[in-house]
Structure 1
Amino acid sequence: MSDILNPGSLPGTDNIPGNSYAYYITLDKPWIMSRGAMIAYYGQMQFRTLMQSLQSSALSALAGTISAPMYMADYVVAEGQGTLIIGDRGYDINSFDLEDGNLTVRSANLLAFEPGLQLNQSIVPGYLTLIGTGKFLASSNGPVMFAEPPVRVDPESLVGWADCPSPSHHYDQSWISGFMAAGAAMMGAGSGEEQQFDFTGAGTVLIQSSEKVLNDNDVVRAIETQIPGLSQAGVQRILARAQAQIAQNQQ
């Protein structure tokens, strides 16, 4: 039987002893966390939407550090005193410290961060950029590996990258051979063996030990924001592509 939890046995911030799927924070200052991440807490706490907190005089300093309008509804601010325990659907939780750094992370993996970090919406769909000094938590499907560029990564295995340029797409055309394979590529079918993110320069790349994306809602929203600017032909093409993907997933 696991040890019974109590506030006295959970000092500071760390993974629950013997449990990589839950993390505890001694809440002596506000933390920004993913909506729904709270599992339990000891003490007195309140949780407000990020928009409510930006409008609060007590946390008005946040206004200059959040520049990610598409993701405002995805995060809440935890305030109060006590011990906060958070998790993410049974995925591994990792703690990272940025020191005057710059890290871009998949939004579905960003679980919580200190308000001292600046949050920006990345130009890469589905990713957020943290800038400054502070601690953040990221979930992953399996343990995280750290790789030094140059390296090519399966897009579904990528968690993020720190202090290096944004990746470019790399396609292995030799993988797409024959009429059927070429047709599948045109319809968007692919895998990490066909398409990778290519990292060059100095920095660190964070890779999860799985090819399973935790959540693609943010990529879907990024696509949705582009639809109003499309022509009728463009919308019909997107619709046809979506219908083809649905049919492929049902096979």
Structure 2
Amino acid sequence: MRSDLFNPSHAEAATAQAGMTLQNSKMLKVALNGEVITRQGAMVAYQGQMDFQALGAGGLGKFLKQQLTGEGIPLMKVSGRGDLFLADLASDVFVIDLEGGQDQLTINGRNVLAFEPSLSWDLHRVQGAGMLSTSGLFNCLFSGRGRIAITCKGTPVVLNVDQPTYADPQAAVCWSAGLRTGFHRADQLGLGTLLGRTTGESYTMSFAGQGFVVVQPSEELPASLISGTGSGDQAGGGAAGGLLGGLLGR
């Protein structure tokens, strides 16, 4: 049998040790010998003996935050030995090494594909967001030592924040945790209406300090439009707002 399909470039990526590697630009291979945390539904194939266990949002506290904010990561724990292949709608995949200490990364939950259990993570309110927008108010802060795989819809740009930097909050994939962030209405930045026509940019996210921000060439739908829960006034008032405030204070 002959076909370009059997070109060596399509063969399984060789791995010398356990851990994450890119099978190709749109698929992650995990040479598993223990455990890995992945997005639910990301498995496209595996070889060997593995057990899949749903983790919901990653614990009771994170689950409650996710229900109140509409943000978070539906996770599963995969344990065993063998080769695990992960993907998300043919998005581009990138592997990042966090090296502990002050090496922290804020990531849009929808762009998290998999990470090693040695990493710690939690939902955090995006600094400066307030209640200006119904999306992107909460993102995932990762810290510790280990590898994490993220997805980008299209080839991203990595912007060095060495001058005032702005991005659509739905296109911002991840950024240095030490950056100062803010949300601005379009009219505050001169992107308002012109002769009764809108620009389509309701809010813009700003970044300042020293670090980087990764921006993908695609805008995600707000979580509130997908799940119906949102993070607007529902999270800000009544008992829900009080419970959320308590959780975020931990």
TM-score (normalised: structure 2): 0.71
Aligned pairs (5 A) from 1:1-251 = 1=4, 2-3=7-8, 5-6=11-12, 9-12=14-17, 13-16=20-23, 19-50=24-55, 68-69=62-63, 70=66, 74-100=74-100, 101-124=103-126, 125-149=137-161, 150=163, 151-173=165-187, 174-178=190-194, 180-181=196-197, 190-191=200-201, 195-208=203-216, 210-213=217-220, 216=223, 220-223=228-231, 226=234, 229=237
Distance 1:214 1:5 in 2: 35
Distance 1:219 1:104 in 2: 22
> Aligned-pair RMSD on alpha carbons?
3.0
Given that 2:141 and 2:177 are in contact with CA atoms closer than 8 Å, whether structure 1 keeps it comes out as no
Once the two structures are superposed, what CA deviation does each residue of 1:105-157 show, in whole Å capped at 9, x if it has no partner? 11110111111111110213352111111100101111232222131112232
Distance 1:228 1:162 in 2: 27
Distance 1:80 1:201 in 2: 42
Relative contact order: is structure 1 or structure 2 higher (C-alpha 8 Å, sep ≥ 6)?
Answer: 2
- Tell me the matched-pair count: 207
Once the two structures are superposed, what CA deviation does each residue of 1:30-62 show, in whole Å capped at 9, x if it has no partner? 11100000011111101101269x8xxxxxxxx
TM-score (normalised: structure 1): 0.71
Unaligned runs of 5+ in 2: 127-136, 239-250
* Structure whose CA Rg is larger: 1
More helix by share: 1
Distance 2:149 2:99 in 1: 15
Once the two structures are superposed, what CA deviation does each residue of 1:187-213 show, in whole Å capped at 9, x if it has no partner? xx732xx632110011221111x1331
Once the two structures are superposed, what CA deviation does each residue of 1:209-229 show, in whole Å capped at 9, x if it has no partner? x13317736774343881794
State, as a whole percentage, how many aligned pairs show the same letter.
24
CA, structure 1 residues 46+224, in 2 after alignment: closer, same or farther (shift >3 Å)? farther
CA, structure 1 residues 73+5, in 2 after alignment: closer, same or farther (shift >3 Å)? same
